[in-house]
Amino acid sequence: MQTIFKGKDFITLQDWSKEEVDTLLEVSFDLKKKFAMGIDTPYLKNKTGMLMFFEQSTRTRNSMEAGLAQLGGHANFLDTSTMQVSHGEVAKDTGIILSRYGHMLACRNCDWGIGNDYLSSLAEHSTVPVLSLQDDLYHPMQGIADLMTIQEKREQTRNLQVSIIWAYATSHKKPISVPVTQSLLFPRYGMDVTLAYPEGYDLPDWVIEEARENAEKHGGSFKITHDMEVAYKDADVVIPKNWGSWATDLSEEEIEKNKESYKKWKCTEEMMEMADDDVMYMHALPADRGNEVEDSVIDGPHSIVYDEAENRLHTAKAVMTLTMGGK
């Protein structure tokens, strides 16, 4: 078990060793049990964290704010439209100054080609740990909660058939950070991952290379298909979710032309019947109901989305406990 985390950034789980991720999960399970038993966990008494949001959030903001309060500390919610960032203050100045005021600096910036660079710049200049609340490439808070949820439902993750499936949505052009994080993380736990999407919705090449390396190293596998039915067939876990064509940048004309065929990429009861009898349906939420998924699936017996969302709290508390407190 690794014990030295204090000051460590949490921007991508790729920078955390397998042993470190294992410890993070153990601490998450411990905090979850204590929360259920009403046992106080004041591990971050009088510590302050800054939460900068360039975009909207329900789960991430509230799991971090509630989580830090439950650990005895306080979170400052910062809407960046009300900060001097909106007048052009650079990440260096923001990082240096906010880190002088507290013990952690967290940020969500999903702007394509900007977000991860912005967080890296904060981390370069911050004297306290920088935690990602999602950027254009990674969503480690979601990834660790997803892994915890799978582990608590299935004791064995080795050779679990997990399908990350593109789904049609109309709400907005969503980041690739959730499927990227899951594609990189799950093979490290021996899962057999299938990534399924219609032509044009590729993840960047380096993601596929790193996912395959992770699979090779840890005994999992990683494959790509453009056939949705292949992804559902016999799957133990399905994660149908929309993401934008960021890597390929499909034109509006192309998207419009293919719209009818994209609409078929919906998680329906018919698709779920092709999967394993005990298949679990997961989604980071918010879901585009009626487009990404039928209500009867997300509200049905295979859905574990609310447990998945709850685990955002326990894992966020574990990330903060280890990086802000500890040894």
Task: By CB under 6 A, tell whether 177 contacts ligand CP.
Answer: no
Angle at 151 between CA 145 and CA 155, to 5 degrees: 175
User: Number of C-alpha atoms within 13 angstroms, CB side, residue 140?
Assistant: 22
> Which amino acid would we find at residue 203?
L
Q: Is the Cβ of residue 64 or residue 322 nearer to ligand CP in the bound state?
A: 64
CB of 209 to ligand CP, least distance (A): 26
Instruction: Tell me which residue has its CB nearest to ligand CP.
Output: 60
The closest of 196, 262, 260 to 228, measured between CA atoms, is 196
Range in contact with ligand CP (rule: CB under 6 A) among 1-9, 51-59, 98-106, 293-301: 51-59
Task: By CB under 6 A, tell whether 225 contacts ligand CP.
Answer: no
Task: By CB under 6 A, tell whether 109 contacts ligand CP.
Answer: no
Q: Cα-flanking dihedrals φ and ψ of residue 77, to 5°?
A: -80, 125
Here's the x/- map for ligand CP, 140-159, by CB under 6 A: it reads as --x-----------------
C-alpha dist (Å) from residue 14 to 35, 210, 235 = 29, 9, 25
Give 65's contacts (C-beta < 8 A, 6+ positions apart).
Answer: 51, 75, 77
CB of 162 to ligand CP, least distance (A): 18
Q: Is the Cβ of residue 58 or residue 251 nearer to ligand CP in the bound state?
A: 58
CB of 182 to ligand CP, least distance (A): 12
* Rounded Cα gap, residues 275 and 271, in angstroms: 7
Per CB under 6 A, the list member of 8, 59, 174, 317 interacting with ligand CP is 59
Per CB under 6 A, the list member of 76, 285, 289, 326 interacting with ligand CP is 285
* Rounded Cα gap, residues 254 and 277, in angstroms: 37
* Rounded Cα gap, residues 271 and 168, in angstroms: 14
Q: Is the Cβ of residue 57 or residue 121 nearer to ligand CP in the bound state?
A: 57
Q: Is the Cβ of residue 284 or residue 298 nearer to ligand CP in the bound state?
A: 284
Range in contact with ligand CP (rule: CB under 6 A) among 3-11, 56-64, 88-96, 120-128: 56-64
C-alpha dist (Å) from residue 52 to 106, 254, 284 = 6, 35, 20
DSSP type of residue 137 = S
The site for ligand CP, by CB under 6 A, has a size of 8
Task: By CB under 6 A, tell whether 134 contacts ligand CP.
Answer: yes
Q: Is 196:183 a contact under the CB 8 Å cutoff?
A: no
The closest of 80, 54, 10 to 320, measured between CA atoms, is 10
Range in contact with ligand CP (rule: CB under 6 A) among 14-22, 58-66, 68-76, 121-129: 58-66
Per CB under 6 A, the list member of 12, 23, 28, 60 interacting with ligand CP is 60
* Rounded Cα gap, residues 153 and 86, in angstroms: 43
Per CB under 6 A, the list member of 2, 48, 57, 221 interacting with ligand CP is 57
HEC states along 243-281? CCCCCCCCCHHHHHHHHHHHHCCCECHHHHHHCCCCCEE
- Region of 72 please: left (phi>0), alpha (psi -120 to 50) or beta: left
Task: By CB under 6 A, tell whether 284 contacts ligand CP.
Answer: yes
- H/E stretch holding 193 reads strand 192-196
Per CB under 6 A, the list member of 3, 58, 171, 251 interacting with ligand CP is 58
Task: By CB under 6 A, tell whether 224 contacts ligand CP.
Answer: no
By the criterion CB under 6 A, which residues form the site for ligand CP?
Answer: 57-60, 134, 142, 284-285
